[in-house]
Amino acid sequence: MQKRRLGNSGLEVSALGLGCMGMSFGLGQPIDPKDGIALIRAAVERGVTFFDTAEVYGPFANEELVGEALAPVREQVVIATKFGFNIDRDGTQHQNPPLDSRPEHVREVAEASLRRLKTDYIDLFYQHRVDPSVPIEDVAGAVKELIREGKVRHFGLSEAGVEVIRRAHAVQPVAALQSEYSLWWREPEEEILPALEELGIGFVPFSPLGKGFLTGKIDANTTFDNTDFRNTVPRFSEENRKANQALVELVGKFAEQKQATPAQIALAWVLAQKPWVVPIPGTTKLHRLEENLGAVEVVLTEDDLRELDLLTAQIQVQGARYGEGSQRLVNR
């Protein structure tokens, strides 16, 4: 497995990470923890060293799963988790307000995450969403203190805008920004990626497979479990799935020419954007994990990238990437 560095932070990880959320939360029924542990350990055996979780996934269940799975190989891997939602210790999640990045809460979450992850340090601690009621300087200062104490090694942000990134970075260097980025969501190219390059911050795209749509395995007839958040995503309405199928078909034809799968092309495209970009596709299946990891071996030339740009520019993707409630949390 190839390695990459997240910007100037010195944090080195496998070129592809593993997003663990869907094993416990958000994408239908949770899988059996034994199966999740086996899958995470299979990823380690195949060279993956970068694992992504968060307290809100469950809440708490996913951190516990990741902690259990990685305990035997803790020194060989990088664990990223996140704080910032308004969650009680018993797992009750509050919506008024939905976010809480007060410094004392950041510390509480860190201590609880350390216990659940069965570790004495968090490699990368992200603010999950920007909290408009807490100055980002205070948030960065709280994480800086945790880094000084050795409980956290690197600070990250998720779905933050350029101004917030700059202000946070001035207080405590930001190692990585995690935001959505894929062939069907390219908004970060406008302002985010240039700013990250300037500041020496790594980029960790989540949903690099378009929440599964770019794999070619979802169409207008697909039905989602009632616990699957894609039911609330406008981009995944039946009508929009039908319209967006055209993009997947174009990627699929291109993939055939490269003797790869659509998922591998979608991931290879993300990997080809910058050497400090590390996507974290999620899966609950071993054969999908292996397929995704195969993307690291797919070489896209400058001509290939131009062709993909031209092909995908023909299609106007239909539907917002979040429902109204979630969208309020990502206004930058």
Residue 182, domain CATH: 3.20.20.100
Domain count for the chain, please give it: 1
pLDDT for the residue numbered 136? 98
DSSP string, 290-318: HHHHGGGG----HHHHHHHHHHHHT----
The model carries a pTM of 0.97
pLDDT for the residue numbered 332? 58
pLDDT, one tens digit per residue, over 57-116 is 999 999 999 999 999 999 999 999 999 999 999 999 999 999 999 999 999 999 999 999
Mean pLDDT, residues 291-305: 98
CB of 136 closer than 8 Å to CB of 130: yes
pLDDT for the residue numbered 330? 79
User: Has residue 169 got a pLDDT over 70?
Assistant: yes
pLDDT for the residue numbered 121? 98
* Alpha carbon distance 230, 26 (integer Å): 8
* Alpha carbon distance 149, 126 (integer Å): 17
Q: In angstroms, how far is CA 92 from the centroid of its own chain?
A: 23
pLDDT for the residue numbered 331? 62
Kindly name the residue from 57, 126, 181, 322 that is annotated as catalytic.
57
| Residue 266 main-chain phi, psi, to 5 deg | -60, -40
181 catalytic, yes or no? no
DSSP 8-class letter at 99 = B
User: Has residue 137 got a pLDDT over 80?
Assistant: yes
Per the omega criterion (within 30 degrees of 0), is the bond before 59 cis?
Answer: yes
* Alpha carbon distance 231, 51 (integer Å): 26
**Mean pLDDT computed over every residue of the chain:** 96
Which residues form the domain of 204?
3-328
Mean pLDDT, residues 191-196: 98
User: Has residue 44 got a pLDDT over 90?
Assistant: yes
pLDDT for the residue numbered 214? 97
User: Has residue 297 got a pLDDT over 70?
Assistant: yes
* Alpha carbon distance 323, 321 (integer Å): 7
User: Has residue 253 got a pLDDT over 90?
Assistant: yes
pLDDT, one tens digit per residue, over 259-296 is 999 999 999 999 999 999 999 999 999 999 999 999 99
Q: Give the three-state DSSP class for 34.
A: helix
